[in-house]
Amino acid sequence: MYRITLLGMVAGMTLLGASTLSVYQDKTHYRYHPEDRFIGLTQGVQATCNGEDMVLRRSSACPSEKRLCRLFEEEKVLERKIIANSANSRILSQLITLPQPQSIDAESWIGAAQKLANEETRLQLQKRELADTQQRLKEIFAKQTRSHDPLETTEVCQGTLELSLPYGYVTFANEYTATLKKETITVTQQLAVTNKSGVDIEAKRARFYYRPARSYIRPIHFSPWTVSEHKNYPMTKKIANVAMKRTMRMPAAQTAEDTAMVAPDPVATYNDAREYTVKGLRLPSTGEAVHVPVLQWEVPLLCEERVYPYRNSSVFEVCSFTPKFQIEQNRWKITDAKGRIVNENGVGEYEKEIYRLYTKHDPDIKVMRKKIVRNERETGLFGNTARKKDGFVLTLVNKSDRSKALKVIERIPVSTTEKIKVKLLGVEGKGVTYKTDKEGKVEMDVTLNAHESKKIEVLFEISYDKDLKITY
């Protein structure tokens, strides 16, 4: 008998440990073995028991050992206090309006009036405090769940209970931290998982997918591409109605809408790009993100300072590297080698196989761009061709106490027709090297010593038929 009981306990523990969570972009599936009928403080949830649909109902009872139920009971106690305060205020108002006595004992009357005034003040202050507490509870509930009512099954599920939670109840996102060293970057990736379902979740294994659970794909079958003689056939009313019905029946593809107690700490496994597994996940419905480590890797890094004067005079640092794993979102927290924050809202992007991380602005370099005033003597007419010289001057000032290397990206016009030709006449500046491409990009490398300023003059010529009017 003892052996049977022990085996039963082991089997029960195994069942309880078999809970799973699957989070998609459009819904969440939570499978577990329940101990009672209570689901949570939630709504819009569908349930099955061992694959069979199960009826859910609202309940006025909420198990006191459940975390959200303690909050639920606090709200009920508060409601009773608010009702009692309102009743006491009404009774006090009635006492004040009672008929006045014919003969007045001044001392007793004054004492009674003071007691009434004090009681009225106490009730008003209590009403304000209760209103503040009620507002606080509403905010707490709104953060953790969308319902104030307990939900339960009509009977305890003897087996696997599966809950289907709507979009937005459980969400996750990738968070990236970049630690910049002199020649390398350490990338730390983690999942931030948030539960606002009103159902406290404990899963032995949780899987997260960057795709919808429901995605209709219309079957496509091969059909031959034929050529035939074109003939005009009038469309009859019957044929038109059939065509319209077929169009109306055609299904549309469905798309997805776009800190808790954790012991022991869960760790995510990188299954593939946009798919992860977490073991031992405790995810209470607090509305606070649970952070789960995914990956950490280090690669060589090259950083440089850039400016695009034709667009913006701000100088910024951009760091380039080749990722070991696919980067799935472009917002970053950036720190230096000592853990100091460089940028809490850094931005990155892919450029072919290279990833570029835009880290910070450099306020020590001032950049000014000024168009060259065109001189009429520089515009000549040779036959039917007009030649117009144009350009601009860049002034770069290094206000810091150390040398700066800067990449300046500029541009000259690019012709969209053979009737107009553009030629770069030159880039003049002390110690400036440059290169150009067919898209009119002019890339210059400039070194500025401490407190040094430099001027760079970029000249180009546009030649075109003198009867043409051009714009650029």
Which pair of tokens denotes residue 446?
């400039």
Q: How far apart are CA 216 and CA 254, in angstroms?
A: 6
According to DSSP H, which parts of 17-66 are helical?
none
Q: How far apart are CA 2 and CA 470, in angstroms?
A: 97
- Say what the pLDDT of residue 382 is: 52
Please answer whether residues 387 and 380 qualify as being in contact, where contact means their C-beta atoms are separated by less than 8 angstroms. yes
Q: What percent of the chain has pLDDT over 90?
A: 56
- Say what the pLDDT of residue 38 is: 94
pLDDT at 152 over 90: yes
Query: 140 — phi, psi (to 5°)?
Result: -65, -45
pLDDT tens profile 306-362: 999 999 999 999 999 999 999 988 999 999 999 999 999 999 999 999 999 999 999
**How would residue 273 be classed by pLDDT, with cut points 50, 70 and 90?**
low
pLDDT at 381 over 60: no
- Say what the pLDDT of residue 303 is: 95
- Say what the pLDDT of residue 289 is: 94
- Say what the pLDDT of residue 14 is: 42
Q: What is the domain partition of the chain in residue ranges?
A: 67-98+111-144, 300-361, 365-465
- Say what the pLDDT of residue 378 is: 45
Please answer whether residues 391 and 289 qualify as being in contact, where contact means their C-beta atoms are separated by less than 8 angstroms. no
pLDDT at 245 over 70: no
Ranges of beta strands (E only) in 59-169 are 150-153, 161-165
**How would residue 22 be classed by pLDDT, with cut points 50, 70 and 90?**
very high
pLDDT at 220 over 90: no
- Say what the pLDDT of residue 325 is: 92
- Say what the pLDDT of residue 377 is: 45
Which pair of tokens denotes residue 226?
């034929």
Q: What percent of the chain has pLDDT over 70?
A: 83
Provide the 10 A C-beta neighbour count for residue 448. Answer: 22
pLDDT at 181 over 90: yes
Please answer whether residues 402 and 442 qualify as being in contact, where contact means their C-beta atoms are separated by less than 8 angstroms. no
Q: How far apart are CA 309 and CA 456, in angstroms?
A: 12
pLDDT at 150 over 90: yes
pLDDT tens profile 340-349: 999 999 999 9
**How would residue 242 be classed by pLDDT, with cut points 50, 70 and 90?**
very low
Mean of pLDDT over the chain? 84
pTM: 0.72
Please answer whether residues 180 and 342 qualify as being in contact, where contact means their C-beta atoms are separated by less than 8 angstroms. yes
pLDDT tens profile 109-133: 667 778 878 888 888 898 899 899 8
pLDDT tens profile 30-75: 999 999 999 999 999 999 999 999 999 999 889 988 999 998 888 8
Q: How far apart are CA 424 and CA 420, in angstroms?
A: 14
**Angle in degrees, 0-180, between the axes of helices 67-96 and 106-144, rounded to the nearest 10:** 150
Query: 134 — phi, psi (to 5°)?
Result: -65, -40
Mean pLDDT of 233-250: 51
365-465 folds as: Immunoglobulin-like (2.60.40)
Which pair of tokens denotes residue 454?
């430099």
Half-sphere CA count of 275, side-chain side, radius 13 A: 6
